[in-house]
């Protein structure tokens, strides 16, 4: 009897509580609406923030993955470039040379790859009557593809014989290839940025 009475009492209290809550919701529609609106906005803001943070983390991971894992970069200028950048501390540093890359290859026996690259900006690339201005050009050695994540849309990386003989081979970015060759594939076409060279590949967008 006591157990049945307790269950009946609990059910009665639960029924009264639900009825009281429903009565309050119906009698205070504006307050209920504002409360639900506030909760919805809060949930939406939290979801938007979490989505933004997750997207930011993914972009950072992808950017770092392109630079390669367990990679050491040696260069004249540091990567940071702020308004108070102390350029005078670095301007007299020597440029890294290809001969130093060869020296490192002889002295470091356990490195999977050692690559050399040199960048120059503000250049013009031409093909026929089409021109791409203010282009950044990067000259790289053969092992560069083992360090930096390169994804090709068309064509290929330059070969070891092409590297050994110093063949004039160029790989174009997607936007530049589209500007120079709007109506045909860029691969196996001739481009000029000083001396003429052959386009062997095109990077993904």
Which pLDDT value is given to residue 2?
A: 46
**Is residue 65 over pLDDT 70?**
no
Question: Facing residues of 197 across strands?
Answer: 191
β-bridge pairing 196-203 and 190-192: antiparallel
Return the higher-pLDDT residue of 83 and 117: 117
120 confidence band (pLDDT: 50, 70, 90):
confident
**Is residue 63 over pLDDT 80?**
no
Residue 183 CA: distances (Å) to CA of 179, 186, 192, 199: 9, 9, 18, 16
- Residue 198, both tokens: 């052959």
Question: Facing residues of 191 across strands?
Answer: 197
Instruction: Return the H-helix or E-strand segment holding 37.
Output: helix 29-67
């Amino acid at each position: 009897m006591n157990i049945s009475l307790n269950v009946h009492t609990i059910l009665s209290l639960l029924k009264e509580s639900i009825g009281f809550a429903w009565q309050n919701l119906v009698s205070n529609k504006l307050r209920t609406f504002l409360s639900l609106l506030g909760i919805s906005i809060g949930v939406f803001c939290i979801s938007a923030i979490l989505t933004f943070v997750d997207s930011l983390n993914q972009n950072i991971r992808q950017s770092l993955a392109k630079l390669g894992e367990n990679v050491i970069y040696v260069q004249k200028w540091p990567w940071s470039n702020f308004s108070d950048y102390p350029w005078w501390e670095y301007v007299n540093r020597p440029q890294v040379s290809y001969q130093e890359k060869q020296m490192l290859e002889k002295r470091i026996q356990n490195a999977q790859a050692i690559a050399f690259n040199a960048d120059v900006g503000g250049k013009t690339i031409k093909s026929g009557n089409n021109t791409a201005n203010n282009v950044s050009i990067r000259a790289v050695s053969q092992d560069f593809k083992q360090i930096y994540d390169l994804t090709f849309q068309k064509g290929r990386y330059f070969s070891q014989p092409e590297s050994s003989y110093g063949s004039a081979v160029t790989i174009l970015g997607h936007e530049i290839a589209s500007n120079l060759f709007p109506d045909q594939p860029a691969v196996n076409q001739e481009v000029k940025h000083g001396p003429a060279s052959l386009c062997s590949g095109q990077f993904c967008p």
